[in-house]
Chains A and B, each alone.
Chain A
Amino acid sequence: MEKVLDVKDLHVSFDLHAGEVQAVRGVDFHLEKGETLAIVGESGSGKSVTTKALMRLIPNPPGRIKQGQILFDGRDLAHLSEREMEKIRGKEMSMIFQDPMTSLNPTMKIGKQIMEPLMKHQKLSKQEAHKRAAELLVLVGLQNPEMRMKQFPHQFSGGQRQRIVIAIALACNPKVLIADEPTTALDVTIQAQILELMKELQKKIDTAIIFITHDLGVVANVADRVAVMYGGQIVETGTVDEIFYDPRHPYTWGLLSSMPSPDTDHEAELRAIPGTPPDLINPPKGDAFALRSEYAMAIDFEQEPPLYKVSDTHFVKSWLLHEQAPHVEPPEIVKLQRRSMPGNYEKPVLAGEGVDNG
């Protein structure tokens, strides 16, 4: 498969009064052409900061990309000038946000907002851009484009606004689309429509999508691969089946079992993950999740775990996969869904130096 994006050892920090917040602490992942990678994790896990760094949308100061590479099309985005970045943003990579009302300009007719990237990046004339904008509106399922283009954002419903934002994001057929919780503010029925729309458009223009969400149902629906983030690091990556049917990291277990499944007994207590996410000004030594994990071992408080490979596509950052680690049983909900994956190695191996991860 062809890689469109390759992120290597990315570190992002914010210099605040209280100290340096290490929001992203060494993230590696790649994105293949036409696939959907879901990034999951709770607030503060660094998922939004990671993707904003890819678009170079981290405000500086206080934020900065401290270290690492973002390879896109043979170039390292981490070191491009703002001017060069402007040519990529909205053209080759675009982003949609959670709240469609705040990402649209309330004082500008939506026709003009869709035409803007077309005229700027694709150098279309006004007439051409107008025609293309009307086509895009039809493509995202809005009827009567000529009339609609003359309207303002407040004249649309939440779902319609998100469709418009998607139309703008896809106007220049980007290679990468980053969707940051695009359906969280929407109702389930509208959410289903938007997800269907995104999948359909992805097929048409072969865009790779990075999908950030904390709704695991949505992940199971859209993702080809999943990356689980915790405390500014990716703790587990794998194909969608590997993450849901053979998860190995205790944090992934925690996420999966904190949601009630349709068969969860009414009387049973949900397995909430106790505590709160770690303080990233003073990141914990060792495994960041150890403080909240019932599976934590002595070494988790001492030394950061290495990355283990469970299959060609499945990577886990946990000492539990060490050959001397005791055998532990995952929570009930995880065990109910568990099955063995065909691609698994006989036993986990260390992901060695230079081995591409995830």
Chain B
Amino acid sequence: MDKLLEIKGLKQYFNEGKPNMVKAVDDVSFDIYKGETLGLVGESGCGKSTTGRTMIRLYDATDGQVLFNGENVHGKKSRKELMQFNRKMQMIFQDPYASLNPRMKVADIIAEGIDIHGLAKSKEERMKKVYELLETVGLNQEHASRYPHEFSGGQRQRLGIARALAVEPDFIIADEPISALDVSIQAQVVNLMKKLQKEKGLTYLFIAHDLSMVKYISDRIGVMYFGKLVELAPSDVLYKNPLHPYTKSLLSAIPLPDPDYERSRTRKVYSPDVHGYSADDVVEMREVAPGHYVYCSEKEMKKYQETYETAR
């Protein structure tokens, strides 16, 4: 499979050099393949949103590289190059109430990207595109002349998706796109995103804390803890055979809609002390099994590999 993005040693520090320095993203590396959905999960403050925002250059990275089609996103760019890049990468935000300008009509919100990039030659073509986009996301033409407040939460998220699609991107970062929505509406939006991915061959980075939805939509999942990526694996592997103790703790905290399971579920608590790393342990991302990466020491890797042996 082709790599669409390569993230290499990405670091994003805030307040650098000051006593209140925060290492929001601390040396994170991973790849995203063309056409896949990579899920990124973790608790609030773990750096998952910052990772997404740094990737799309909303923040300037402290260190490291984000290669998009082999080209560094954070490199020096002319205005024109930057425009080109912005077109290829788009973002959908968590709060559909805050991410749509309340004083703009839907048609103008969606067409903003089309205007900036000059993708429509005439007014008619512009409106035609807007109507098509509205229909793609399950709304209709009449909606074009309305304002955001006239829509429900699920509909607004559809508008956010239509706006992202307007410039025909290859890659979309969805930062908690469904967290603010009701369960039944969540399913509508997730189904829509999956359908669009199939039709347009999109690649997604899906950031969320709802682990059951993430498993459903993602091909692979990365788990973040305190700015570090601690585990990365295909989604069913991550759920069936989680190796890092933090992943285990996170999975054990999800309540499932099954009363019997809930009565017997016990929660595992994670403490970084369980690793007992000594000073000469090299702790890094290691490939424990093909495609299954864990942030661990050499000793732990052997232990983890044994779990694969016994499972076989």
Please give, as numbers and ranges, the residues of chain A lying within 8 Å of B190 by CB-CB distance: 270
Contact, CB under 8 Å: B257 / A219 = yes
> Chain A residues with Cβ under 8 A from B239's Cβ?
262
CA distance A187 to B261 in the complex (A): 20
Closest Cβ–Cβ distance, residue A277 to chain B (whole Å): 9
- Which A residues between 247 and 275 are near B, CB-CB below 8 angstroms? 254-256, 258-262, 264, 266, 269-274
- CB pair B191–A244 under 8 Å, yes or no, is no
A255 and B187 CA atoms in complex are apart in Å by 10
Residues in chain B near residue A42, CB distance under 8 A? 182-185
Q: For B255, what are the chain A residues with a Cβ–Cβ distance below 8 Å?
A: 191-192, 195, 215, 217-218, 220-221
A69 CA / B198 CA spacing, docked (Å): 53
Determine the residue in chain B with the shortest Cβ distance to A43. B182
B177-211: which have CB < 8 Å to A? 182-188, 190-191, 194, 209, 211
Contact indicator per residue, chain B 240-261, by CB within 8 Å of chain A (1) or not (0): 0000000001100111111101
**A188, A262, A270: the one within 8 Å of B191 (CB):** A270
A201 at the interface (CB under 8 A from B): no
**Given A187-B43, A192-B253, A337-B258, also A270-B187 (CB < 8 A):** yes
Shortest Cβ gap from B82 to chain A (Å): 35
Q: How many angstroms between the C-alpha atoms of A43 and B152 in the bound complex?
A: 10
Which of B152, B183, B194, B256 is within 8 Å of A258, CB to CB?
B183
Q: How far is the CB of A100 from chain B (nearest CB, A)?
A: 14
A258 in contact with B186 (CB, 8 Å): yes
| Contact digits for A216-242, partner B, Cβ 8 Å, 1 yes 0 no | 111111000000000000000000110
Residue in A closest to B44 when the chains form the complex, CB atoms: A187
Are B186 and A192 in touch, CB under 8 angstroms? no
Tell me whether A340 is interfacial, beta carbon within 8 Å.
no
B267 at the interface (CB under 8 A from A): yes
Q: Which residues of A contact B152 (CB under 8 A)?
A: 276
B135, chain A: closest CB distance, angstroms: 16
Q: Are B267 and A192 in contact (CB under 8 A)?
A: yes
**Cα–Cα, bound, A149→B211 (Å):** 35
Q: List residues 204-220 of chain A with CB under 8 A from any CB of chain B.
A: 214-220
In the complex, the answer to whether A271 meets B250 with C-beta atoms within 8 Å is no
Tell whether A255 pairs with B249 under 8 Å between CB atoms, given A217-B257, A220-B259, A337-B258: no
Of A187, A216, A262, which contacts B183 at CB under 8 A? A216
Residue count of chain B within 8 Å CB distance of chain A? 38
Known: A42-B183, A43-B182, A260-B212. A189 touches B43 (CB 8 A): yes
Does the CB pair A261–B194 fall under 8 Å? no
Q: Given A42-B185, A189-B250, A191-B253, does the pair A240, B191 have CB atoms closer than 8 Å?
A: no
Are the CB atoms of B235 and A272 closer together than 8 Å? no
* Chain A hits for B194, CB < 8 A: 269
The residue among B184, B216, B258 with the most chain A CB atoms within 10 A of its own CB is B184
Please name the residue on chain B nearest to A240 by beta carbon: B259
In the assembled complex, B144 has its CB within 8 A of some CB on chain A = no
Is the Cβ of B256 less than 8 Å from the Cβ of A187? no
Chain B contacts for A217, CB-based, 8 A: 212, 254-257, 262
Residues A271 and B187 in contact, CB atoms below 8 Å apart: yes
- B254 surroundings in chain A (CB, below 8 A): 188, 217
CB-based contact A214/B183 at 8 Å: yes
A245–B257 alpha-carbon span in the complex (Å): 10
CB distance from A301 to the nearest CB of B (A): 21
Residues in A neighbouring B8, C-beta threshold 8 A = none
Contact assessment for B235 and A266 in the assembled complex, using a CB-CB cutoff below 8 Å: yes
B258 touches A259 (CB 8 A): no
Please indicate which of the listed interface residues A245, A269, A272, A273 has the most CB atoms of chain B within 10 Å of its own CB: A272
Question: Given the complex, which residues of B lie within 8 Å of A216, measured CB to CB?
Answer: 183, 257
Contact yes or no, A258 B257, CB < 8 A: no
- How many Å lie between the Cα of A190 and that of B46 in the bound state? 14
Question: What chain A residues lie within 8 Å of B249 (beta carbons)?
Answer: 189
Known: A42-B185, A187-B209, A258-B186. A220 touches B256 (CB 8 A): yes
The 6 closest A-B pairs by CB, nearest first: A217-B255, A272-B187, A260-B216, A216-B257, A258-B187, A273-B184
5 A-B residue pairs with CB within 8 Å = A43-B182, A217-B254, A220-B256, A264-B216, A272-B185
B-side residues, CB < 8 A to A, are 43-44, 152-154, 182-188, 190-191, 194, 209, 211-213, 215-216, 219, 235-236, 239, 249-250, 253-259, 261-262, 265, 267
B-contacting residues of A (Cβ < 8 Å)? 42-43, 158, 187-192, 195-196, 214-221, 240-241, 244-245, 254-256, 258-262, 264, 266, 269-274, 276, 337
- Given A189-B43, A218-B255, output 9 extra A-B contacts at Cβ < 8 Å: A191-B255, A195-B255, A217-B256, A217-B257, A221-B255, A245-B259, A262-B215, A270-B190, A272-B187
